[in-house]
A and B are shown apart, each in its own frame.
Chain A
Amino acid sequence: MNHNISIEPIGNKSLWDKFIDESPNSLLFHKWDFLKIAEKYTGYKVYAYGFYRRDELISVLPIFHKKRKGMNFVYSPPQTTLSYIPYMGFAFSPTYYHLNQHEKESGLCSMISEMDQVLRGLSANYVSYATVPGDVDSRPYIWNGYEALLQYTYVIDLERPLEAIWEEFDRNCRKRIEAAEKLRPSVIRSDDSGTLFRIMRERFADQGDTFFHRQTPEYLKELLSTFPDEIKMYFIYSGDELIGADVNCEYKDLCMSWMGTAVMKENLNANEYMLWEIIKGAKDAGKKRYENLGADEKRLNDFKAKFNPSLIPYFYIIKKNILYRTTSYIMEKMSKKA
């Protein structure tokens, strides 16, 4: 055991959720019920760990474990094609963020070392964390043998006046929103996850095994009913015709366009319109940030960047042991030969 940090499993939902609600970097995806639903629908087993510094809980980490083809996989969050969860990893207490830089660094190093002991107990061959944007320090992972892959996402600051946010949109974006407004589309809240999945499956038919093909609509349905104040699905109609759909995730001061933003009628400018409506709604609800998830797909960035967001980095942290590396290498060679 490390002298400063100790690790213990947490089985108490209210202790966990209270910590998550108070943590400055935690997300809805860290909440107990969210983890349990992800466990139920991904087939991975969830473990919830707490890290204590002198008896004070200063961090928690949920991990998902599964043995597949003789290999042990540990994820936090589980693969996006199964869970659509973008970030997870460590959630820290306000105390952690108030530590000075030196204690923060040594604290995170110790937490990762403690966690690695647990992972050794699980005989993990592959470990992957996706850190929450804003937590920039990947060094303690690297010093513990992990590799860090850089990723980006887009965030809009909602603390500015709405007019200032609007003025910063590309001219063409504003024009498209104004054109859509003339059609008086209606945005209606819905829990019809089956329709969203059907639309998305059709839209991504040529993209292989996406989340919408691998997962069932019941997963989203259960999330919508468990978190009615946080996860909201909207359908956008022109008259009676469904022209767009979006699933938002709202938690603390963040509103995230999470799942979808599917548009069925490209020529109606529904995408820009819907995003603007979400931004206005989020600001009205007192949110401070709006995240348009993901900035690593070039084909989507041209649309997302129209709203003049800030670019925020985050990391995939990965460790593969020698057995995993060797097996992957052989499999790759064999598939190339075939």
Chain B
Amino acid sequence: MSTQTSTRPVALRCSGLVKRFTDVTAVNGLDLEVFAGECFGLLGPNGAGKTTTVEILEGLTPSDEGEVELLGRHWTSGNDRALRERIGVQLQETQLAEKVTVVETLRLFRSFYQRGHGVDEVIHTVALEEKRNARVGKLSGGQKQRLAVACALVSDPELLFLDEPTTGLDPQARLSLWDIVEKFRAGGGTILLTTHYMEEAERLCDRVAIMDHGKMIALGTPAELIESLGADQIIEFSVTKELEEDPVQRLPAVSHLHKRSDVYALTVSEIGVALPALLAEIERQQSELVTLTTHQATLEDVFVSLTGRMLRDG
């Protein structure tokens, strides 16, 4: 891993990043390194400091401490414009003007850059050809978000920032946005993406940093992070009578037991061994099974095991 990092070119690096607001420290000593050509995910619940981090990296918010290096440059008031030419930005809360059309919006954004894609090319990339002359106010949530990404892509950026690009979108709209991101990545672009959707990070990201309370609590590929649980299956179950936890934890192939309200989550390496043993143990404790589900371990489970909370709890 370390030999790999030294040879790969770095598109974005920050170290010791701190940002304090009056009532909270949003970012608390963050170090990140994003390699050129990778899709890097910042994962964490709402309020973890993802958006503040991204806006510092984008040069929109000054940090209190720490350094940011972007495409080999730093944010200063001097060469900002040259640097902005090379990055594409989608902000979490931007609402584009409603009375203008898709093509008019993109023409405006395109005009800010020296070089970039043709407006119609980008409209094609984000599959908005049919809405080319529709007003922004008439677009669906997914279409608006695709337009927001198109505005970020129109300059043909080297580095693309996407801040929760699919939050609040239906599954279909989410899929079509993922396609756009994957196309950009396939074309050699670097992406920094924030999300609180696990499946999004697993699908899109080469590497993921998990953030909580302004700090990074885990870093690796999705597979590495899941592997770090020492297991690949999760059994979730509930029972009629509360279980004594110690014997359950000592069952074969079980690495971790976590109880959240009345649902037990058992992290196991071999489900074929653990499941019969669990059923026998429940019977031995004279309890009865109410519900039982199993699933492949996900980043969500990683987050739960690291923080004891669910991601969506925030």
Report whether chain A binds chain B. no
* Residues of A bordering B, CB below 8 Å: none
